[in-house]
Structure 1
């Protein structure tokens, strides 16, 4: 009985070590595949390809040409932000197609003068909901973020959602469920709008699921190691099991 318990404990230890190595490998492969997806997305941000067959396509294409940002990226953000609903208003007070908050609107206006000469005083909801102005302001801001992060469009998109200060704080996409889900949604939208198949996307998802399954397996195996170890200790009142 003693040798059987000890053999089982040793087998469980080997299984635990094997699972841990497999888990680490799966995480690495998932991250490598995800980086390939982001690299392709960032390369797409630098291209200039007009969109068609989408609401406000002409306005999106025009803004992209003016501010040097691929219209496909703009369309992907609009789809994620408002699903092309010009009167969208979030609980956080973000307005319109690109869900621009008033503070960001004022910042962009101070730099790009997008509303200059249109009216006296501060911009209000009439401006915020105007598709032309909203797309222009959102596109200018997003293009500045792409430049800020040296063409890493996934970081620009994360900053568009969570703020550049948060991205700078974490040195990458913040580990917030809302932001990581948002970046994934925008990237997925871009691949859909552009008609490209994301390289590595399926691999990243597959390895992420594999890592999750291995993680649960590690917990179960670790529990079994502890249980068998406790039985050996109780039986022999010592850690000398040989």
Structure 2
């Protein structure tokens, strides 16, 4: 939950020329071979001057335009809204879905013992006086605004963004050993869930583990609240 308001060699072979007469190459053979050699040298020079772009296998997939099927039915219920909310906040919808999964499992009336409210478990001081914290659109706008600020503070690192969302943006600049146990647990589950979503998996062991350890009762409550079968 947001705490403080702070300002993803080809080898080339060539056949040997056919031997003629006494074994030496004829004048006819020398000319075409010279052309071939010159062409080869020019091609090699061109490749050195303009090398082919390399592919970075560490590069994560592009931001998704939908949400992954790994999320629970309660999150899928909000899929269309998540896409719209994420687009308005310029965020990956799978990142927004990951936050909602862990924070409320899609229960719009969820409230924590610390006072965080709604789908994205936003703390009271992030709302304006006229806001209804439990209105899904309002809750998403305030929560995802904080998530975007956290993402920017973390230099685009989703892991740091999640830590900042849970523990306050100020912790991003601190050593991780100083993070609270809650924040460490938050990223322990949040990061692999988000990675599974971005990697196109259809089932996530990370979601299953989170559900079994922490999310079962939360999701049951959300399931009933949403009237899902």
TM-score, normalised via structure 1 length: 0.51
Partners of 2:177 and 2:99 lie apart in 1 by: 16
Q: Quick one: which of 157, 171, 175 aligns to 2:179?
A: 175
Deviation at 1:143, TM superposition (A): 1.1
Partners of 1:156 and 1:128 lie apart in 2 by: 22
Deviation at 1:104, TM superposition (A): 2.2
Cα deviation per residue 1:34-66 (whole Å; 9 max; x = unaligned)? xxxxx87xx46x724312661211111011111
Cα deviation per residue 1:59-78 (whole Å; 9 max; x = unaligned)? 11011111110000000000
CA 1:196–1:187 in structure 2 vs 1: closer, same or farther (change >3 Å)? Answer: farther
- Do the aligned residues in 2 keep the contact of 1:155 with 1:172 (CA within 8 Å)? no
Task: Tell me which protein shows more helix as a share of its residues.
Answer: 1
TM-score, normalised via structure 2 length: 0.54
CA 1:140–1:173 in structure 2 vs 1: closer, same or farther (change >3 Å)? Answer: farther
Note the residue ranges of structure 2 that are not aligned, 5 or more in a row.
1-57, 70-75, 207-229
1:102 corresponds to 2:107: no
RMSD: 2.7
Partners of 2:130 and 2:163 lie apart in 1 by: 26
Aligned match of 1:49:
65
Aligned match of 1:184:
188
Partners of 1:52 and 1:180 lie apart in 2 by: 24
Note the residue ranges of structure 1 that are not aligned, 5 or more in a row.
1-38, 107-121, 203-242
Q: Quick one: which of 138, 149, 152 aligns to 1:147?
A: 152
Deviation at 1:173, TM superposition (A): 7.2
Q: Please identify runs of 4+ aligned residues in structure 1 that moved more than 3 A.
A: 171-175, 191-197
Partners of 1:70 and 1:188 lie apart in 2 by: 15
Matches within 5 A, 1:113-152: 122-123=129-130, 127-152=132-157
Partners of 2:197 and 2:157 lie apart in 1 by: 19
1:90 corresponds to 2:95: no
CA 1:140–1:175 in structure 2 vs 1: closer, same or farther (change >3 Å)? Answer: closer
Partners of 1:167 and 1:52 lie apart in 2 by: 27
The number of residues matched between the two structures is 140
Structure number with bigger Rg: 2
Partners of 1:132 and 1:145 lie apart in 2 by: 20
Which of 1 and 2 has higher RCO (CA within 8 Å, sep 6+)? 1
